Each structure stands twice: as structure tokens, then as C-alpha cells.
């Protein structure tokens, strides 16, 4: 079942067309990868999906709702939540509080209950906290729960971002380079973890540079270059697609010519 449908998506910043006529669709329970060289416009697609940028033209539909002019917080509430390539954690909050923030849209509290600190409110707070604890245990951060987020090592900060996105209970999780800066072992752990997330019922869209990670776990991949879609399909098809090879390695003829000279 298709839950996310992007068609003819285009955005321009002044004269620069960052994403041009991009089409993509995601079905429930899939892991979809978006790959491409630096500056291909992958993160820009995420920014449009989450409402941070407004597309110049084209449409984004999530379960038949048009997302084009929605605010980021509305989109998060509808069920699309993300992580950031350049980590954006809440620096002066503890690890567990970082995760608890994301439960925001899933709990409703009347103002009077907050001012009286009613039983119901304390119960909800306890539930939010235990939910956050469960997620922290899942990503292996339970021991760090009362540390400040910036004191964590880089890899754990990425995991915390994922835990935070999961706490928002979205249907689709967007992961922006989840394995950036990780070594081989950590990357394969991350791959396993992403599969686990999918098995928990989340649909995953991820941006990644590490080809092995993408090819190992993605059901389908989309390849972007200079803002345009150059290939899509299952991993095997894409790997052998000449346009993709060209985008990543350059034209064969040119490569030979330059090595000879």
C-alpha cells in the first residue's frame, strides 16, 4: 500500500535548482534508500518532506493529504519524523528528556491538570518516561539517561536522534545519513538496527553514502544527481545502471584519459 507519494517535486533557490522533477513513492513497511553524490539534493528532499522548505512546484502526498504548505510540527504529528545529518539534539537537556520531548504530539494535557499536577497528568508523565526508557534500552543508551546529550560520543548521538524520532511514534521515519562517521562494525550494527526498526512496524526512508549499507538493507533505492532522478529500482538494477556508475565514478573514457596523461 502506497503511503507516501511524491510527484514532479521541484525546488529552486534563486537561480539554483536544487531538486528537479523528482518522483518517489513509498509503501508501508518498506526500507527505501535515497543515494547520490554530495550536493545531489537528497537532504533537500527531506527538508521539503518535513515542511522545512516549501517546494517551488510538484506535490507531496501522505495518505492522500497534501503536505506542500504544512508546518513541520503538523507533519510530525501526522506521522513523518526525521533525524538530521548535522546532529540537532537538545544540548542542555538530558538524554532521556531529549526522547521525552518527542512524545509531545502523542499526549494531550489540559492546562488545569498541569497547574494542579493532577493524578492523570502524573500518570501520563510516568508513561512518557517509561516509553522513553524502553526506547533508550533499545538503542543501548539506557545507562546514559541522565547525561547531557553533547557529552555522548558521536555514534551514540546518532542513535539518540533515532530514538527521539521513534518516540514521536511516526509511521515513516526519515534517517539522514544514519551511519555517517561510523566505522565498519558500527555501520553493520546500524544496518541491523534499521532492519529491526522496520520489523517494529516503521516505514524507513534513508539517505546514505555508504553503498554497502544501502545495498544490504534497502528494498528499493532512488539515485539523485544534480537534483534529478537518474535511476530507481531494486539494488541490483541500480548497481549496474551505467548512469549511476557515471555519477559516482565519472565516465570511463575520461577516467582512462586522465590516468594516462
Partner 1 sequence: MKKLFSKSIKRIIEKWAVNEWKVAFSCLIIALALPIVLNTRYLLSVMTICCVNSILAVSLNMLTGYLGITSLGHAAFYGLGAYTAAILGTRFELNIIVTLPAGMIIAGIAAFLLGLAAIRAPSRHLAIITLGFCEIVKIVELNWFSFTGGANGIHSVPRISLLGWDLSGKYAKYYLALFLLILTISTISLIMHSKIGRAIYSIRDNEIAAESMGVNVFSYKLFVFTFSAMFAGLAGAFYAHHFSYVSPLSFTFEQSIVLLSMVILGGIGSMPGTIIGAIILSLLPELLRDFTTWRQVIYGAIIVILMVARPSGMLGKYNFKHIRQQVKYSKLLTKNENKPLEKMTG
Partner 2 sequence: MLFQQLINGLTIGTAYALVTIGFTMIYGVLELTNFAHSSYYMLGAYLCVSFMNLIGLDVLGFLLGTIGAILVCGTISALTDKLALGVIRKRGGAAISALLCTIGIQTVINNAIILGYGSETRQFINVFNLGRFKIGPATVSWMQVIIATVAILIMLLLTFIIRRTKFGAGMRAISQNQRAAQMMGVKVNKIIQWTFFISASVSALSGVLIGMYYRTLEVNMATVVGSKAFAAALLGGIGELPGAVIGGFVIGVLESFVAGYVSSGYRDAIAFAVLIVVLVVRPQGILGKKIHHKV
Interacting residue ranges for partner 1, rule: CB under 8 A: 50, 52, 71-73, 76-77, 81-82, 84, 88-94, 97, 100-105, 107, 109, 114-115, 117, 121, 125, 128, 145-146, 148, 164-165, 168
CB of 122: closest distance to partner 1 in angstroms? 10
Q: What is the CA radius of gyration of the chain?
A: 20
Which of 13, 122, 234, 257 touches partner 2 by CB under 8 A? 13
Stretch that binds partner 2, among 1-9, 47-55, 113-121, 138-146 (CB under 8 A): 47-55
Least Å distance between CB 115 and partner 2? 29
**Is the CB of 108 or the CB of 253 nearer to partner 1?**
108
**Which residues lie across from 204 on neighbouring strands?**
31, 173
Is residue 43 close enough to count as binding partner 2 by CB under 8 A?
Answer: yes
Return the number of other C-beta atoms located less than 10 Å from residue 18's C-beta: 20
* 10 vs 85, beta carbon nearer partner 2: 85
Binding status of residue 38 toward partner 2 by CB under 8 A? no
For residue 39 the three cell numbers come to 550536493
Cα–Cα dist 205/43, whole Å: 12
Q: Contact residues for partner 2 (CB under 8 A)?
A: 13, 43, 47, 52-53, 84, 86
Amino acid at each position: 500500500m502506497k503511503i507516501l507519494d511524491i510527484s514532479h517535486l521541484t525546488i529552486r533557490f534563486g537561480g539554483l535548482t536544487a531538486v528537479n522533477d523528482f518522483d518517489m513513492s513509498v509503501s508501508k513497511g518498506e526500507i527505501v534508500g535515497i543515494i547520490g553524490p554530495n550536493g545531489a539534493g537528497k537532504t533537500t528532499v527531506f527538508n521539503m518532506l518535513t515542511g522545512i522548505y516549501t517546494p517551488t512546484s510538484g506535490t507531496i502526498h501522505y495518505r492522500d493529504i497534501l503536505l506542500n504548505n504544512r508546518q513541520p510540527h503538523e507533519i510530525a504529528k501526522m506521522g513523518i519524523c526525521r533525524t538530521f545529518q548535522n546532529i540537532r539534539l537538545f544540548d542542555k537537556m538530558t538524554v532521556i528528556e531529549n526522547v521525552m520531548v518527542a512524545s509531545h504530539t502523542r499526549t494531550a494535557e489540559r492546562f488545569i491538570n498541569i497547574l494542579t499536577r493532577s493524578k492523570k497528568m502524573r500518570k501520563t508523565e510516568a508513561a512518557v518516561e517509561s516509553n522513553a526508557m524502553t526506547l533508550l534500552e533499545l538503542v543501548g543508551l539506557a545507562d546514559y539517561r541522565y547525561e547531557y546529550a553533547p557529552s555522548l560520543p558521536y555514534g551514540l548521538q546518532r542513535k539518540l536522534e533515532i530514538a527521539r524520532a521513534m518516540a514521536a511514534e511516526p509511521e515513516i521515519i526519515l534517517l539522514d545519513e544514519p551511519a555517517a562517521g561510523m566505522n565498519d562494525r558500527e555501520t553493520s550494527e546500524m544496518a541491523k538496527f534499521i532492519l529491526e526498526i522496520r520489523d517494529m512496524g516503521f516505514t524507513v526512508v534513508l539517505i546514505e553514502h555508504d553503498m554497502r549499507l544501502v545495498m544490504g538493507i534497502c528494498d528499493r533505492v532512488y539515485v539523485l544527481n544534480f537534483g534529478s532522478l537518474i535511476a530507481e529500482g531494486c539494488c541490483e538494477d541500480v548497481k549496474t545502471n551505467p548512469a549511476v556508475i557515471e555519477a559516482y565514478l565519472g565516465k570511463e573514457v575520461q577516467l582512462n584519459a586522465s590516468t594516462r596523461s
